[in-house]
Structure formats: structure tokens, C-alpha cells
Structure 1
Amino acid sequence: MGDPWEQGHEQVVFCRDRASGLMAVIAVYDTRLGPALGGTRFRAYPSKDAALQDALNLSRAMAYKNALAGLDHGGGKGVILGDPVTVRSEPLIRAYGRFVESLHGRYVTACDVGTVVADMDLIGRETRYATGRSPAEGGAGDSGVLTAFGVFQGLRAAAQVRWGAPEALAGRLVGVSGVGKVGRALVPLLLDAGARVVATDPAPAAVGAVAGLAGVRVVEDTAALLREPLDVYAPCALGAALTAEVVEGLSAQIVCGGANNQLATPEIGDLLHARDVLYCPDFCVNAGGVIAVADEWAGRDRGGYDAERARGRAARIFDTTLAVLTEATETGVTPDTAAARTAERRMAEVGGLTRIFTGLP
């Protein structure tokens, strides 16, 4: 796992509530741009070390994502250890909410893999620092829809760079691995753009939701999907989807998906570049969801969540992705390097303003 002390985080909190069985980690990577914002993942991790490392990796990615999206938020992430199907309970979720409250606004949470809007409503009964709540509670609801919209905008930018126009997705074969929250919402956008889709997911219900759509073909698993003559590969499940083995056999000219931390190791970005595969950095294109919950958070003082305003901001992911891919080409670096540099530049330059005292509230 490496030394957690050397990974640059401002704060890591271990959460334990014996009565409910809660075991969780909250990692705050950087707060120079504002309070750390990032979802809570609920997963049966193979070990406590794996859960900790996931929290560390995801919180760092959230800092970059928020910076690239132009948000006044730093990066944080929470992970709850356990199978959400078997151990989720109201006491456990609300206990987690009390730990979020104990950070006094340094971390604002939202949904992620394994958590749902109903969980955020429960967390919101224990802390004001919960977003992604239901519309009935004044929230944005399922942020996966806007995440998919942002991924689609990133893919349109990649199509312009690789094939000359955003509309060049028409007729292309896109492989979507994972059709849960984000992948399921991405598929109709691809179909409307004239693309053909081959999809897979281990959950029968998820596959069933897209299997009947015209233009969609379902395959058994990701290995079968990757054997298809893909033009685009869209990883939309868990991280580390891009390994050396996957890249070596990849037919796709573009990789653009909704999953977080898609590169199994940093060196995978170089392998993609060497094979002339255009990679859209995940923390650049999958920011639609955090844009939604950031609007909900800011909307507390301005009339609540505004779906049109959030969608307009998510549409700018096209421009952000195009700028990142253009900079990568012009400077000869990989897209993930170009995106990281852009994010780090904003964190340093804009975040540096926090050194200036702006007066009492």
C-alpha cells in the first residue's frame, strides 16, 4: 500500500461505531480551494488496508476533479467497509453521518458506489454536510445522470480530436463496461448520437435495463467486451480497469468512461500514449456528478438545487477535455499528466488566495 503519511493528505479519520457495526475511513486530501467534497463508497473490501488505500486514492482524484471542474472545493472521500446488501442499516448510516458532522465542514459527502440517495437523506439527519439528497429534501437526487452527461461531453471532445468532429461518434462501436448508475445513463446518450453499443455488467438487473434498447448488444463479461472491434472503450464500473494486459489487447482508439481511477498504475497512461490510444482522464470527464452536488451545496443560500444551472456547468466538460487533450498534444505529455498539471496549477494559484484575510463574516 505504501506509507499513508507520504501520500500528501491533510487528514485521515478512522471511524468505528461498535453498536451499529460501522467501520469507515474518511480521507481529506486538500482543502485549499474550499471544503473537501466527495462521495462515500460502501463496499466489501478484501482488507482494511485496501479500504484505506481506496479512500486515499479517491480523495486525491476528487481534489483534481473538483479543481478541473472549476469548483470551490477541495477533495475528500469516505469509504464504509462491508457489503451494503447485507450490513446497511439506518443506525450504521446515521452513525457515519455523525462522524461526517464531527469534521465540522472540512468534508462534505455525497453518493458513490454502494450508496444511494436514501442514504444521504439519513446522513443528512445527523449532519448538514450531506449532499446528493432526494428532491423531497431539496437535493439533486441521483447525480449519476449528470455524471453520464459529462462523460458524454468528454467523449464528444475526444471524437473531435481523434476523428475531426464531435458528431463523428455516429456509427462507432462503444463498449460500456458497467451499466449501473452512470453506464446505464450513458447508453441512451450514445445511441442518440448514432453510436452502436456493446455492454456488460455482472448484475442481471443492470444488464436488463439496457438490453432491450435498439442498438445495444449485451456480452457476458468485460473480457468478451474487450474482444469486440471497439472504437471507444468506456469503463463505468470500479477502478483499475486499465491494466497493461488490457491496453496491449485494446482495439479502441479512445478510452472515455465514468469509473474513477481507471489506470491500474501511473505507467498505464504511458502505455496508452505509446499505442496511440486517446485517453480521457477520468477525473476530467466524470465530474458531472460532483458538479451536481456542488450546486446543491451552494444552493442552500440561493434557492436550492438548480438542475439547469448544473447541467450548463457540466456541459463545459467538453471544453475542459478539449483543452486538456490539446495541451497534451502540444506539450508531448500524456492526457492524464496534462490534466493533473492543470488541476495542480489551479489549486496552487486560486488556493493561494486563502492566505489573504478577507475580513470577518
Structure 2
Amino acid sequence: MATDLTPNTSVLAQQQLYGHKKITFCNDESTGLKAIIAIHDTTLGPALGGTRMWTYASEGEALEDALRLSRGMTYKAAITGLNLGGGKGVIIGDSRKDKTEALMRSYGRYIDNQNGEFITAEEMGTNTKDMEYIRMETKHVTGVPESMGGAGNPAPFTAQGVYLGIKASVKEVFGTDTLAGRTVVVQGIGSVGEELVALLRRENAEVLVSDINAERLTYVAKKYGAKPIAADKIFSVVADVYAPCAMGATVNSNTIAKMNFSIIAGSANNQLRDETLDGKLLLEKGILFAPDYLINAGGLIACYSELTGFGKKRAIQLTENIYDATRNVIKLSKTEKIPTNVAADQIAEKRIADLKRIK
């Protein structure tokens, strides 16, 4: 999945480079909506992906995020064995101030115009209430409240998958997957991060937490008996596991050089800033990287189970497969002497290519 973009790369060049099928730009002056819907691939099924609302520095930054995230969804669905393609929506704005019912419903109409090629769910900056507003305009949405017959918040499933990915990685590095006594740094304690902290503390792992929201940091640390640390101190900490659960690109040449971790396994999307360079650097330094789109697939599984009518029991069963899937990626990485992110890509790409030939 390596890319080579410059700030001046045109939209069409980016679409071609990432291999996207379709990009839709959404603009509604009456509600203040500015959004991008990126559909990467629909070989395996309709493109499913959450909608993120963020205060991007520029429209170009928002576009690149949509393209990278949607491509990651294609690979996530493929490696998890789901019959889904990859897509993503991003809304440019501050979710705390700019989000309204009118804005979300306007966005819902743009989703409806995709004619079923794109199905959305909640993501960073959006929630089940927003999905409820979108559902008023289109049926192509999942993760709606349980009171409406949906699966509700997918965060617990995402956290469970990450937890299993951590255990599979710890098994590889330390010979046993028990987390008692292991030290884990969780960066970002939103809904997924907090769920992960709860799971880790339940197994008596020592947990360090960091977040840009000081009030939430204090709350979560006190609630679960975790140790709060400042954001600028993360990469000076000696720990068994680093779990990035906020924005991507925290794993890069600068931070890797400072790291004192044995394992990187978290829920954040696109954790590697440069997928080619950073994967190699981690391999050379002996840090085991659990590919993000593999271990954070629990939320996607929950949404898929809602769409297919499987229900929570089946979602839990499919999420449990993340443990073995992580072990398989690690095994291929060791056998071929390639970074784990490359090994995961190969497994995902093979499934897509095989089914493309059938079609």
C-alpha cells in the first residue's frame, strides 16, 4: 500500500495512485456541510466505512485522509474475510461546535446518492445519534442505536479486537499471551481507548494513558487505576506495548528512533506515516507491529453483522478470529522476512485478486 504523494499532487493523480473507484465532494452552504466520500474498491461488496468529522488544516489534508482511510477499509474487510469493499467519509469541521441535525441529514442525502455503493457508520467525531440522523435520509448506514434495531456503538468490538491483537503479539514476543504485569501505553482514550484500558486492567496489565483532553485523562486514569502521562513523554517511556488509539502517523522515523517498546498494537488507523520506510525500520529495530487495519477490525465486523442480520453473538465470534489472523500475519512476516504490514497487505490483496478473477 505504499504511496508517493507531494502537496501538489492533483486530485485525479491521487485517485489513480491510491486506486480509488470514486470520490464525491459534498458541499451544502445552507447547513455548512463540507465533506468527502471516498470509495476505494467494491470487488468484495459495497464499500463500508465510518464517517470522521475533524478540523482539518486544509481540504487537501482532508482528501488524503479520506483516501488513505478508505483504502485501509478495503484491506481490513479483505483480511477479515468479510464480503465488503472499502470506503470512508470525512466531514470538515469541529464536531463539538459545527455538528447539527441539518448538517448530518444533508450528508445523509449525499450518501443516498451513492446508490448503495457506500455504507457509513460512526467514527472519530461522530456517534450513534448522528447515524440516527443519517438514517432519516438513507438506509445505507449502520451502527445506529440499538433502540432502532441497530448494533449500537461499535467501539467495544473494536477494543476487543485490539486487545486480542495485543495478546497475540505478546504471545509471539514473550512466549505467553497473559498480560498480567505487562506495561501498556494507551495513547488516546476516546470510546475505543477507554474500552481497551478497561480490558487491559481487567487482566492486571499496568496501563499508562495519555490524551490531549486533560479532564478526560484525569477521569479515565482515576476510574481504572491507570497512570497518566504527558503526550510529549510517551516515547521516552520503557514499556512492553505501545497502543496508539487516536490519530494516525504517530509511528514514523522520528518516533521509532526514540521508542523503547517491544510491540506496537493499537486502534488508530494509518499508524505508519510512511508505510514502506517505517515498516522496515520497525523490523530492523525488532519492534513487532500488529497491522492496524487487522486488529482494529472489530468495529467493522459489528457493522457487517448488523447489515447481514447475524447479531452480536456472531460479531463476537468473528472478532475472536483476530487473534489467529494476527498470528498468521506474524508467521508470514517471519517466514518471508518482510515487515508485518507488508505481510498483511499480501494476504488481503490475494483475497481481492482471487475474487476479482471469479467475477
Q: Which runs of at least 4 in structure 1 moved beyond 3 Å after TM superposition? A: none
Assess if the C-alpha contact under 8 Å between 1:147 and 1:287 holds in 2.
yes
The reply on whether 1:207 has 2:212 as its aligned counterpart is no
**Whole-Å separation in 2 of the counterparts to 1:206 and 1:148:** 18
Correspondence for 1:252: 261
Pairing partner for 1:288 from 285, 298, 302: 298
Instruction: Find the aligned partners of 2:36 and 2:307 in 1 and give their Cα distance.
Output: 22
Q: Report the counterpart of residue 11 of structure 1 in structure 2.
A: 22
Residue in 1 that maps onto 2:136? 125
For 1:246-277, what per-residue CA distance to the aligned partner results, in whole angstroms no more than 9, with x for missing partners? 10110000000000000011211111111000
Find the aligned partners of 2:357 and 2:195 in 1 and give their Cα distance. 37
Q: SS in structure 2 opposite 1:231?
A: strand
**Residue in structure 2 matching 1:67, options 78, 81, 87:** 78
Work out whether residues 78 and 351 of structure 2, in 8 Å CA contact, stay in contact via their aligned partners in 1: yes
Matched, 1:157 2:168: yes
> How far apart are residue 62 of structure 1 and its match?
0.4
2:338 is paired with a residue of what secondary structure?
coil
> What's the offset of the Cα at 1:350?
2.4
Matches within 5 A, 1:103-114: 103-114=114-125
Deviations along 1:60-83, one digit per CA (max 9) or x if unpaired, are: 000000111111000000000111
Does residue 235 in structure 1 map to residue 244 in structure 2? yes
Using the TM superposition, name which of 58-67 and 198-207 deviates more. 198-207
User: How many angstroms does 1:206 deviate by?
Assistant: 2.8
Alignment check: 8 A CA contact 2:218 2:228 kept: no
Alpha carbons 1:153, 1:315 under 8 Å: kept:
yes
Q: TM-score, normalised by structure 2?
A: 0.94
Q: Where does residue 310 of structure 1 map in the other structure?
A: 315
Give the RMSD, CA atoms, in angstroms.
1.1
- Aligned match of 2:270: 261
Aligned to 2:206, which of 182, 189, 196? 196
Across the two proteins, how many residue pairs are aligned to each other? 347
- Give the secondary-structure state (helix, strand or coil) at the position aligned to 2:150: coil
In the alignment, is the contact (CA less than 8 A) between 2:78 and 2:84 conserved in 1?
A: yes
Render the CA deviation track for 1:182-240: whole Å, top value 9, x for unaligned.
1100011111222100001111343234211454100122x212222111100000111
Report what 1:116 is aligned to.
Answer: 127
Q: 2:354 aligns with which of 340, 349, 353?
A: 349
- Give the Cα–Cα distance (whole angstroms) in 1 for the partners of residues 349 and 224 of structure 2: 42
Checking the alignment, whether the CA contact within 8 Å between 2:198 and 2:224 is kept in structure 1 is no
Consecutive unaligned residues of structure 2, counting only runs of 5 or more, are 1-6
The letter for the 2-side match of 1:145 is P
Identity of aligned residues (%): 39
Superposed displacement of residue 114, structure 1: 0.4
